[in-house]
A and B are shown apart, each in its own frame.
Chain A
Amino acid sequence: MIRDALSRGTILFLLSLGAALMLLPFAWMISTSLKAPNEVMLMPPKWMPSEWHWDNYVRALTMAPFGRYFLNSVLVTALSTLGELITTILAAYAFARLSFWGRDFLFSLLLGTMMVPGEVLLVPNYVTLARLGWIDRYEALIIPWTASVFAIFLLRQHFLFVPKELGYAARVDGAGDFRFLWTIMVPIVRPAIVTIVVLKAIGSWNAFLWPLIVTNSREMRTLPVGLTAFTTEAGTAYELLMAASAFVIVPMIVLYLLLQRSIVEGLARTGIKG
């Protein structure tokens, strides 16, 4: 294969070149974010700041209410993830272990909705939220995202693999379905639950179009929406723009480095679903 066709050195060289190109934007962001204003717009560019201006971060983050944006993002991510987890565990259990009329029909119907692009839902959902009086409120940012067909499907598949005998044993010991679900089933499928949480948290943290549409006031913006607004607020002060971007990006990178294995496996798993 490629490995025999190219020498080890060539492969290492190509991979390093690619890695440098992948990393360059991040490095350039950090470098620019620490420069004095007069060192930002130079040609040829100055690779490293001659003095590290950490105060750029203070200036950028106080120019717009980034603290508030950050709290909004944390709140929205945490609550929509928690909500999705609860609705998913309950619904997946019903589909995997309870028998009821219309089960297969309902399950196919839900799977069918996965084919519909989210953009189709935009207009009616906006109107529904307006009628509920939820526009520009946390409800609009959280509640529509507290259930996911994909997550239900994924968890149901994992519940199906748990031996049925476990349920019978629990029943003999006097545990009802509800207790059995939370104390036995949920701990068994922990890897799948971690996958669901990680994917949801990344998706929710990075979500853009929806928060852009349902928020009007500055106080309700999430980080991505606040950051795009900041690009007009900061004008050409690129050192401040880069500091603000780093403020959004760096926590994600740290989290990714800590949880790398579950994130990558989770994404690979979603790919294999087809």
Chain B
Amino acid sequence: MPDKPNLRSTAKAFVYLAPALLVLGTFTIYPIVESFLLSFYTDYDYFHDRVYRLGFDNYLYLLKDPEFHLALRNTAVFVIGVVPISIALSLGIALMLYRPIPLRSFFRTVYFLPTVTSVVAVAVVWRWIFHSDYGLLNFGLGLLGIQPVRWLTDPRWALPALILFAIWKSLGYNIVLFLAGLSNIPETYHLAARLDRAGPWRRFWSITFPLLWPTTFFVSIVSIIGAFKVFDEVYALFGGSPGPLSSALTLVYYIFVKFYREQDYAVASAAAYVLFLITFLLTVIQLWIGRKRTAV
């Protein structure tokens, strides 16, 4: 094991790296660059690799396209609808599950179940639950005296239905992350606070919440980035459409339509880079705040 790299050791290392680099180079690194260039192609013949003109037209197109605005708005509503509720619920459940309670491992198993199952397959089940006339959800609402809602066919209710489904699906993963974060908080703080006669709420707000903050922050960023990329849920819940009157058209669904249905590769790439920009800014915020905390 030579400590200083030389030609021989480098050649040897690249034999070990070759399989991974071949795959990652072809299917990850090259497309990142290619997609970026493609987003500036305004007159091109992609399959024959000919570009006649470059420019910002694709981005200008996005700026003016009402469908793209709709996709951005829907995605933002989806993120705002899912993330805070999912985090509040999963934090509450994690706090209840954290210390010994009867049936604890049973509860953990159950809450985690939706996380491991295929989005598409459970979406098929939820379509049945959302059914306007015979769905379980409208039956339940009926018991409370609420008129049936056309969840999947009324443009006003498509996004709320999608949000409800996504919250159900995302809880388990967040609970696991919160449980891991809670187990990192030393018990001694709580004992000390108890000796000082701090009540349960006081202890939650003065100890648990601040010490859990890095976890909460991390879960928020991961959830927001994940929610920005929602696609499978939409496709499966609305049977291969972006909802009635495109009422559940999301950013990735827009990319999918431009790329796959309309074969407009350049606009699809530009839209994908807008998505990248959004997730990149979120990651930078996360790293920046993460660094500031460790510096303190």
Question: A residues touching B (Cβ–Cβ < 8 Å)?
Answer: 1-6, 8, 11-12, 14-15, 18-19, 21-26, 28-29, 32, 40-45, 86-88, 90-91, 93-94, 97-103, 106, 109-110, 113, 115-117, 119-128, 130, 143-144, 146-147, 149, 152, 164, 167-168, 171, 177, 202, 205-206, 208-209, 212-213, 223-224, 227-228, 231-232, 238, 241-242, 244-245, 248-249, 252-253, 256-257, 260, 263-264, 267-268, 271-272, 274
Contact = CB atoms under 8 A, between A and B. Distances in A.
A3 B208 CA distance: 12
Nearest to A109: B29
Contacts of A113: 24, 28-29, 32
Nearest to B4: A99
B121 A98 contact: no
Interface string B104-119: 0011111111111111
B229 A119 contact: yes
A106 to B, nearest CB: 8
A93 B14 CA distance: 11
A6 B95 CA distance: 11
Interface of B: 1-5, 9-10, 12-14, 16-17, 19-21, 23-24, 26-32, 34-35, 38, 46-47, 92-93, 95-97, 99, 101-103, 106-122, 124-129, 131, 133-134, 136, 139, 168, 171-173, 176-177, 179-180, 190, 199-201, 203-204, 208, 218-219, 221-222, 225, 229, 231-232, 235-236, 239-240, 252, 255-256, 259-260, 265, 268-269, 272-273, 275-276, 279-280, 283, 286, 290
Which of A86, A205, A238 counts the most B-chain CB atoms under 10 A from its CB? A238
Contacts of B116: 202, 252-253, 256, 263
14 contacts: A2-B95, A12-B101, A22-B111, A22-B114, A91-B21, A113-B29, A144-B27, A206-B120, A231-B127, A238-B131, A249-B118, A252-B118, A264-B112, A274-B286
A121 B117 contact: no
Nearest to A14: B96
A22 B113 contact: yes
A53 B102 CA distance: 36
A25 B176 contact: no
Given A15-B93, A228-B240, A90 B16 contact: yes
Given A91-B16, A144-B23, A227-B124, A268 B32 contact: no
Contact of B204 (A1, A86, A88, A228): A1
Contacts of B219: 271
